[in-house]
Structure 1
């Protein structure tokens, strides 16, 4: 997968020895003939998240003494794909853990993060799900939480953003134009939880509309938060 030399602790993966091969195998193919026309959303999604986390964490770490460290109420995970069961999304898209989940961790002193990427197919799939948990150990992530994701907006275009009530301290959902991508972000007690879904079918189609995906993502986020709660 993707590593970042700017981080003190490298992103680790549960499939380090087969990283390049599995990335190619898991990437969705376009059309019945296996042409490479279809996009590979989980690749840019994972890459953008790692780059954004590196820059953001590095910048805040430099000013760590000026900002209050948050009290973190969640434990770190060594394998997010084991803790993130995606049961609600699985009812929509099928078993998301069947096709070799991809797991990564980062042990940076400022932000300890973990990422899990799931798909509902081996060579072809209709849905990719990416879950990320960031435990902010040096600074409070609250002031920056509402800043829009520039790399996501730049790739999928300007969408609509809505607040979600009753989930963590604050939660917000972003829906891309055409409902091809949905992102849910939750801030709670020094941790930021991010769930994203991307359609991998023709034209970015997903197995459900954005409203159904959003409902399932909220349910799965709540279950993940409960699983990692200290």
Structure 2
């Protein structure tokens, strides 16, 4: 059985292994080489709806369900619960611009989403985007689908590197897209799936934001995710 490499210690990205081509569905190449930050920032809202609809379909048709255990509360305003302190230390205050907060309450899944972006030196332009999402599954255990590939990452023509993240929830994985400017951290803990995505036009110095590297961004995402789990823990 092949398992994901672990992302530990100093979060070295050299430990990340390329995703196997056999796992990738054939897709049509994008002329731009991959989605930009804003494209995935808003695409996640569709994922919230799709998850609720799918779970609701099973529920409506009377499929056998086993209610998963959870020790987390539903977030009524994820942008208040998700502080993004560590990421803000890299990007500038992620709450300076008005956050985008969404909730979807369904008999099968309660989902909450928060979209954040930084403010550039001029106070307007943004070059760093973060999306946090929490999905509380009420009827079925999400563990069975946790390893299912994200269609957006399958469609990313630049390639994806994946690593397991130890000591975070029941199970956690970090996906890094080619170019190292789009990262997805996903955590499973009981009946809840947590996701934090971070993306930037560049990690080089820009708009008054100092240069950083993918290792620092990964470490900040993990720290902010750990704080979110603690805040929502009942």
Q: Is the 8 A contact 1:64 1:138 kept in 2?
A: no
Q: Which residue of 25, 31, 43 maps to 1:45?
A: 43
Cα distance in 2 between the residues matched to 1:92 and 1:202: 10
Q: Is the 8 A contact 1:102 1:118 kept in 2?
A: yes
Give the match for residue 223 of structure 1. 227
Cα distance in 1 between the residues matched to 2:213 and 2:62: 41
Structure-2-length-normalised TM-score: 0.74
Deviations 1:40-88 (A, max 9, x none): 2354433442354244423443566423110111001110000000011
Give the match for residue 198 of structure 2. 197
Deviations 1:155-178 (A, max 9, x none): 464311111110000000100010
Q: Is the 8 A contact 2:97 2:116 kept in 1?
A: yes
Cα distance in 1 between the residues matched to 2:62 and 2:134: 20
Which secondary structure does the structure 2 equivalent of 1:66 belong to? coil
Give the match for residue 134 of structure 1. 135
Structure 1: gaps (5+ residues):
1-37
Give the match for residue 76 of structure 1. 74
Cα distance in 2 between the residues matched to 1:115 and 1:73: 19
Cα distance in 2 between the residues matched to 1:57 and 1:155: 26
Cα distance in 1 between the residues matched to 2:143 and 2:171: 9
Q: Offset of 1:218 from its aligned partner?
A: 0.7
Cα distance in 2 between the residues matched to 1:196 and 1:119: 12
Q: Name whichever of 44-53 and 156-165 sits farther off.
A: 44-53
Q: Which residue of 92, 101, 109 maps to 1:94?
A: 92
Count residues in correspondence.
192
Q: Which residue of 190, 197, 216 maps to 1:212?
A: 216
Cα distance in 2 between the residues matched to 1:64 and 1:155: 36
Give the match for residue 153 of structure 1. 154
Cα distance in 2 between the residues matched to 1:139 and 1:78: 21
Q: Is the 8 A contact 1:113 1:133 kept in 2?
A: yes
Give the match for residue 33 of structure 1. none
Backbone CA RMSD of aligned residues: 2.4
Structure 2: gaps (5+ residues):
1-35
Q: Offset of 1:108 from its aligned partner?
A: 0.8
Which secondary structure does the structure 1 equivalent of 2:75 belong to? coil
**Ranges of 4+ aligned residues in structure 1 off by more than 6 Å:** none
| Cα 1:126/1:98, change in 2 over 3 Å | same
Cα distance in 2 between the residues matched to 1:56 and 1:107: 13
Give the match for residue 167 of structure 2. 166
| Cα 1:41/1:154, change in 2 over 3 Å | same
Q: Offset of 1:195 from its aligned partner?
A: 0.2
> Which structure: greater helix fraction?
1
Q: Which has the higher contact order (CA 8 A, sep 6+)?
A: 2
